[in-house]
Structure 1
Amino acid sequence: MRKKKMRKKKKKKKKKKKKKKKKKKNKNKKKKKKKKKKNNNNNNNNKNKKKNNKKKKKKKKKKKNKNKNKNKKVEEENKKEEEREKGRRRRSRRRRRRRRRRRRRRRRRSLELKR
């Protein structure tokens, strides 16, 4: 039998992560000048605008309690199930009683016949 030559698995080389270079801050950079706001001489008009904006705010709608209806439905279903179970219990009791009576009668008859 010939021997199979096993191939050697090549090891994967791990890649080195490159370090990010930090940017040097430019000390000679000029600062930006802030723009001055325009002086609004028409002050009264400005106040009125603010008042109007306040009026425009919408009132929040009250959320309807959707869960109330769900809870009602669940309660009704539970009641129905309880009623069904009560009915089942009654039926099962009746059946048990009937079975017991039948068994007793059969036993009595069989005993009497044996005598």
Structure 2
Amino acid sequence: MNKLLATLIAGFFAAGAFAQATPATPATPAKPATPAVAATPAVPAQADAKAEVKAEVKAETKAAKGDKKAQKKASQDVKKDAKAEVKAETAKVEKKAAEAK
């Protein structure tokens, strides 16, 4: 029973400390609204920007295609070189095996 009462009292103290209100901070006054500036149409600038972006995208895609072609050709060259090396190695091994007989 003593443990139960001690637990309840400790719980009440903890709840009371937790529930204490912090001092309120003063509210900041609202700033008055500023009138909006009328937007000027920028249609010609947007058209130029779109044309520039399209040109950049085209250039990037062409470069990417060129890179892919170069990578493919390089990988084919590497494969050819690897095949030639394997053939040379197998020829050496076969020659040694023939000499050993």
TM-score norm. by structure 1 comes to: 0.47
Q: Which residue of 2 aligns with 1:12?
A: none
CA distance in 2 between partners of 1:67 and 1:105 (Å): 57
- The higher radius of gyration belongs to 1
1:114, distance to aligned residue in structure 2 (A): 1.2
In the alignment, is residue 83 of structure 1 matched against residue 69 of structure 2? yes
Query: What residue in structure 1 maps to residue 84 of structure 2?
Result: 98
Structure 2: distance between partners of 1:60 and 1:105 = 73
Residue 55 (structure 2) pairs with residue 69 (structure 1): yes
Do the aligned partners of residues 60 and 88 (structure 1) sit closer, same or farther apart at CA in structure 2, a change above 3 Å counting? closer
Q: CA deviation at 1:89?
A: 1.0
Runs of 4+ in 1 over 6 A off after TM superposition: none
Q: Does 1:112 align with 2:78?
A: no
The aligned amino acid for 2:98 is E
Aligned residue-pair number: 58
| Mapping of residues 16-55 of structure 1, within 5 Å | none
Compute the displacement of 1:60 (Å): 4.4
In the alignment, the residues of structure 2 paired with residue 112 and residue 86 of structure 1 have an alpha-carbon distance, to the nearest angstrom, of 39
TM-score (norm 2): 0.53
Structure-2 residue corresponding to 1:39 = none
Letter of the aligned partner of 1:82 in structure 2?
A: K
CA RMSD of aligned residues (A): 1.6
User: In 1, distance between residues paired with 2:87 and 2:41?
Assistant: 74
- What's the secondary structure of 2:91's corresponding residue? helix
**Cα deviation code 1:18-38 (max 9, x no counterpart):** xxxxxxxxxxxxxxxxxxxxx
Q: Identical aligned pairs, as a percentage?
A: 7
